[in-house]
């Protein structure tokens, strides 16, 4: 059986207790920590930027999976790299300079993730084949935690798996105990889960349950 990585999103964390929250994810068996960066422009919500990523970097050793939901992400790649991101994922809808952004992430020595919103076909990533490490399929409209999984995402995950057999497929949005099984069956390698982990009474059990779905 292939290994499924769990990357809890701290969007649903208690930010006043961020250190304890991140340490609790580590103790509970999370593989990565997913950091949702929003600018209020690319998505209708704002979250946090480099200083918070840097603070998280100081308190856990887990890989930081930084999901940039910002316009013209290239402007901030170097700063997120310096703050301690390990994987930098950006939306191809957010820039006309996808290749330049990929090159800059690589120049900073980080893994490259490309993401698509629910209405963007997977085929739009074909021009970048061979240039990236991770493909993040959004299974809700980006911007908020706690939304319902969009069922049509399953076909997109299958298509992503077929077109890009060598990259990690990550799925983000509405991943919980009732959707994880079909998401993994469709071909996902990495599950992002915000509310399913943070709202669970027992986070360790929740992470195990998601992984074994």
> Which residue numbers are catalytic?
36, 172
Q: How many CB atoms lie within 10 A of CB 5?
A: 17
- On whether the CB atoms of residues 110 and 86 are closer than 8 A, the answer is yes
CB of residue 140 to Zn ion, shortest distance in Å: 9
21 binds ligand DX5 (CB under 6 A): no
Instruction: Candidates 11, 50, 85, 98: give the one binding ligand DX5 (CB under 6 A).
Output: 11
- On whether the CB atoms of residues 160 and 121 are closer than 8 A, the answer is no
Q: Which residues in the 74-113 window bind ligand DX5 by CB under 6 A? A: none
Give the contacts of 52 (CB within 8 A, at least 6 positions apart). 15, 18, 35
From 53-61, 87-95, 106-114, 145-153, give the range in contact with ligand DX5 by CB under 6 A. 145-153
34 binds ligand DX5 (CB under 6 A): yes
Strands (E), 30-110: 33-38, 64-69, 87-91
Contacts with ligand DX5, 49-68, as mask; x by CB under 6 A = ------------------x-
- Residue 86's closest CA among 69, 103, 115, 61? 61
Residue sitting closest to ligand DX5 (CB):
194
- On whether the CB atoms of residues 40 and 8 are closer than 8 A, the answer is no
Instruction: Candidates 55, 120, 195, 209: give the one binding ligand DX5 (CB under 6 A).
Output: 195
- On whether the CB atoms of residues 14 and 23 are closer than 8 A, the answer is no
Contacted by 195, from ligand DX5, Zn ion, none: CB < 5 to 8 Å by type: ligand DX5
From 46-54, 141-149, 157-165, 182-190, give the range in contact with ligand DX5 by CB under 6 A. 141-149
36 binds ligand DX5 (CB under 6 A): yes
CB of residue 196 to ligand DX5, shortest distance in Å: 6
Q: What is the C-alpha to C-alpha distance for residues 148 and 41, in angstroms, rounded to an integer?
A: 22
Contacted by 49, from ligand DX5, Zn ion, none: CB < 5 to 8 Å by type: none
Residue by residue, DSSP assigns 191-206 as EEESHHHHT-S-HHHH
Judged by the rule CB under 6 A, the positions of this chain that interact with ligand DX5 are 9, 11-12, 34, 36, 67, 140, 142-143, 145-147, 172-175, 192-196
């Amino acid at each position: 059986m292939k290994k499924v990585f769990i990357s809890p999103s701290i969007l649903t964390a208690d930010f006043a207790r961020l250190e304890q929250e991140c340490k609790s994810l580590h103790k509970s068996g999370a593989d990565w920590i997913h950091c949702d960066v929003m600018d209020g422009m690319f998505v209708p919500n704002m979250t946090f930027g480099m200083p918070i990523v840097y603070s998280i970097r100081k308190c856990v050793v887990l890989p930081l999976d930084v999901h940039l939901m910002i316009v013209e992400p290239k402007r901030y790649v170097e700063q997120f790299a310096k703050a301690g991101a390990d994987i930098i994922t950006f939306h191809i809808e957010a820039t006309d300079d996808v290749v330049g952004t990929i090159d800059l992430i690589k120049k900073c020595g980080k893994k490259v993730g490309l993401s698509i919103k629910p209405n963007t076909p997977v085929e739009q990533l074909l021009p970048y084949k061979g240039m990236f490490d991770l493909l993040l399929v959004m299974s809700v409209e980006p911007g908020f935690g706690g939304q319902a999984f969009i069922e049509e995402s399953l076909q997109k995950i299958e298509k992503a798996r077929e077109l890009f057999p060598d990259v990690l497929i990550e799925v983000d949005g509405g991943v919980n105990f009732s959707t994880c099984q079909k998401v993994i069956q469709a071909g996902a390698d990495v599950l992002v889960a915000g509310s399913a982990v943070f709202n669970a009474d027992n986070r360790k059990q929740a992470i195990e349950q998601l992984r074994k779905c």
